[in-house]
Structure 1
């Protein structure tokens, strides 16, 4: 299992994973860019709970 920070400051990833949240205001740190998610995807890891992305 891999856990990673979020991607609430990565608007491209938000648009990709949940377009209805485009423009949604968040209190996530500006460094929440989804690097951990990208690394996990690069090894074809299974994503869980992406219905709760922000």
Structure 2
């Protein structure tokens, strides 16, 4: 694992969020996954990247 970098959520990251959701819920059937929600929430959402990979 490399250095984790936090970035604010952008609509362009939506597909990566979907892919992370699918990976997590495929492995952990009872996982709780928090979505970015409506656009007015986006300023409060940060994503954790390990290089180019969305980690959280």
TM-score w.r.t. length of structure 1: 0.36
TM-score w.r.t. length of structure 2: 0.35
Which structure is larger by alpha-carbon Rg, 1 or 2?
Answer: 2
Q: Which has the higher helix share?
A: 2
